[in-house]
Structure 1
């Protein structure tokens, strides 16, 4: 039997499940508990988590509530968007990219407070348990990770509520029945799964959406937005310089107002099953469109095509929890190298659930109107050169065709 932990740092939201976990840890292991609550822009007041932790017997010096929004966008979201990362071609990885930062702070707080273990509230069926734990072990191979959902016998909502009542843990009235769906939120997105969403053949009810208006109810007039980039990262909106988190907050408001960024997606979880989720990533959808727009004129075709070819692998690494792996860091170095000249401004049109690039310009542009024009090009391009280019590229095809004709003959 493994040695019981003496002090545990718990990723604590202040909600019912993590409050039950907090009490369970103290009861099961007779250990000291430290709570860590991260503000990643989930859009809810976090101070009640402090009061809840204190009410459950946690000393004030063992309660950590931190605003990580700027670090989240600057060091995790923006590097990922330099890659134009999409999991399975659609998902902008909003939940996936938040977990390594939470794990990083769990491990750092454990070192700061002398804790020998960390704990999370992810279930044994999902991806988050993998993301939390791979990140924690990558940062501290000696850390013990406790996953109560894989250990305890509180296997039903009824048992959870009975445990809460027995231990005088406050239960919100709407928690006494089955929750309609599960929600995860941060500054990049909202994710809704379970219950009313479990049948992928049934349209998601409109009340599931929290950040975006129904595109049919969005403004009847389009809105024009300009996003400026420096070395692949957004730095300004409509000419106004902003911090990373402020940019994403503003883009969320713009995209949400126009019903942009909704995704109904059945994905392949790392643990082997398929799951259906409703994602809202309004700001991220605008950011992706704009980033690809500026790359169109600043990124060489060879570099761009290579970058696009590694993107699925990069996205899969993030989805599966390998943010702190050497292979992700290697790919990141390649991606960041490609962004040295990805600077300039993109103009977007937002309208009823859609966003499209309608203009882009840059001092680093590779676009040459002199070469591409259908008018006189003043000798910039000699069309006769194309004949030799075609013949050289056709040579192997001619040889194959001649061989096949000979064998048939």
Structure 2
């Protein structure tokens, strides 16, 4: 077996990855490079640098990936109107391939033989990280400490930290905290009381959104501009992808938009309950479907809706870099060629409702649908033959059944 001389660790600076860092140094006796991705999680990331320095790390990478995250991962996914199991906007799932991409890139840059992550052996993230690394560079070894070490309980984790003088925050010493994942697209919360799906979620669990009951009593109307399926402006102001999503997160959060209490089916086979907050993404999904309603051909729109569950499942299961996802993406992106225009959305007490949509490339024809006299020639008699042809098989089926 090739000796591992350098490892790149996906490092948050939290308790788990701080312990993993020390464990890697002890177990493999090699240099560990830490990589911390800024995905807009809203936390100060410099403490991660300080903790890594305390552990003797010489090469510390903290990389701002917010724009890349939104433009190259979130927006392509939103072009598909992707929802896992009809509800989940895939906030955690879509972040993992980006992290894996940079893990592999740094490993190549520094000549590391391995990458490591802190995902547990029960969750989806281990699959997502490792499938992405497999697709990007199968020569790189993957180290998953939660599947390798003999730490089996939270108490053992804390004992390891104390033994190796790893600081344990006071809020980590008592009962296990909620498991929280955050980025520009969403915040997810799992664990503790939420593990019982019969329990009502305490309000303090929510971090990005106010209770819709307490949201403003006056609706707020915003306009979102689209070009080729991607949002480019809010209320007439052009923005970068990350800035646009940040703006919509603030607007949506203020109006209690984007809350989801979901029991989902994990890829590895178990059900889990998560509380998701995706305010900006929820607004964008409604607006995008709004602009598609007037710019997409009927058959194209219906085909997109047919493949969407498969596309969403691929992302959820960790197959972002798989050929089938890329094939579906090419189809989806082709469908967005004429998806440009503006959509007005009303934000009110937890809902984002499309109230207007306009496009210079619209397929909608008022002359065709009007009940008044039309300027476009439409012969009502044509409908008779259309109906008779479509009814032919039904008449044959009914005749057979009556015999």
The corresponding residue for 2:340 is: 343
Counting only pairs closer than 5 Å after superposition, residues 289-308 of structure 1 correspond to structure 2 as 289-308=286-305
The corresponding residue for 2:331 is: 334
The corresponding residue for 2:399 is: 402
The corresponding residue for 2:36 is: 37
- Work out whether 1:276 is the aligned partner of 2:255: no
- Work out whether 1:108 is the aligned partner of 2:105: yes
Unaligned runs of 5+ residues in structure 1 are none
Structure 1-normalised TM-score?
A: 0.98
Counting only pairs closer than 5 Å after superposition, residues 186-335 of structure 1 correspond to structure 2 as 186-335=183-332
Distance in 2 (alpha carbons) for counterparts of 1:36 and 1:380: 64
Distance in 1 (alpha carbons) for counterparts of 2:141 and 2:101: 14
Post-superposition offset of 1:171: 0.8
Distance in 2 (alpha carbons) for counterparts of 1:178 and 1:151: 25
- Work out whether 1:135 is the aligned partner of 2:135: no
Counting only pairs closer than 5 Å after superposition, residues 66-105 of structure 1 correspond to structure 2 as 66-105=63-102
Distance in 2 (alpha carbons) for counterparts of 1:388 and 1:181: 63
The answer (yes or no) to whether the contact 2:225–2:236 under 8 Å persists in 1 is yes
* Post-superposition CA distance 1:83-142 (Å, at most 9, x none): 000000000000000000000000000000010000000000000000000000100011
List structure 1 segments (4+ residues) > 6 angstroms apart after TM superposition. Answer: none
Distance in 1 (alpha carbons) for counterparts of 2:63 and 2:138: 24
Number of corresponding residues:
403
Distance in 1 (alpha carbons) for counterparts of 2:379 and 2:353: 34
Post-superposition offset of 1:207: 0.7
* Post-superposition CA distance 1:19-43 (Å, at most 9, x none): 0000000011111100000000000
Post-superposition offset of 1:305: 0.3
The answer (yes or no) to whether the contact 1:180–1:196 under 8 Å persists in 2 is no
Distance in 1 (alpha carbons) for counterparts of 2:175 and 2:330: 46
The answer (yes or no) to whether the contact 1:157–1:178 under 8 Å persists in 2 is no
Post-superposition offset of 1:379: 4.6
Distance in 2 (alpha carbons) for counterparts of 1:230 and 1:379: 29
Distance in 2 (alpha carbons) for counterparts of 1:52 and 1:330: 42
The corresponding residue for 2:4 is: 5
Structure 2-normalised TM-score?
A: 0.99
Post-superposition offset of 1:53: 0.3
The alignment partner of 2:392 has SS state of helix
Q: CA RMSD in A?
A: 0.8
The corresponding residue for 2:369 is: 372
